[in-house]
Amino acid sequence: AQTVTQSQPEMSVQEAETVTLSCTYDTSESDYYLFWYKQPPSRQMILVIRQEAYKQQNATENRFSVNFQKAAKSFSLKISDSQLGDAAMYFCAFLATQGGSEKLVFGKGTKLTVNP
């Protein structure tokens, strides 16, 4: 079974600064996706970024980028030029692409506070 660990229950950053959220995972699968989802106070689950395990290039979406280290099973999220609207709970999630299981496995989340 897959597990996802987010070791930082809470993080804070100053507006316009950069912050990195950590995520590690454990799996025996060779093909999978990794995601970061954002859950603001509205509690909507919003996709931030996606990484396919077979791609060596790290995914980037505007101010959001990941550092994917497959051998180390590490998948961190970097937020550049932090904005007040980035304040939210961030969940790291794993999805096996084959093998029948289609469920997302989430970490416990990291609560990000952005200070003005």
Partner 1 sequence: AAGVIQSPRHLIKEKRETATLKCYPIPRHDTVYWYQQGPGQDPQFLISFYEKMQSDKGSIPDRFSAQQFSDYHSELNMSSLELGDSALYFCASSPHIGSGTDTQYFGPGTRLTVL
Judged by CB under 8 A, which of 28, 41, 43, 57 binds partner 1? 43
41 touches partner 1 by CB under 8 A = no
Piece of 20-28, 38-46, 67-75, 79-87 that binds partner 1 (CB under 8 A): 38-46
Give the span between the Cα atoms of 37 and 45, in whole angstroms: 6
Which residues in 77-116 contact partner 1 (CB under 8 A)? 91, 95-98, 100-109
| Residue 103 CB, nearest approach to partner 1 (Å) | 4
Give the span between the Cα atoms of 34 and 95, in whole angstroms: 6
Which residues in 3-32 contact partner 1 (CB under 8 A)? 31
Residue 33 or 67: which CB sits closer to partner 1?
Answer: 33
35 touches partner 1 by CB under 8 A = yes
Interaction site with partner 1 (CB under 8 A): 31, 33, 35, 37, 42-47, 50, 91, 95-98, 100-109
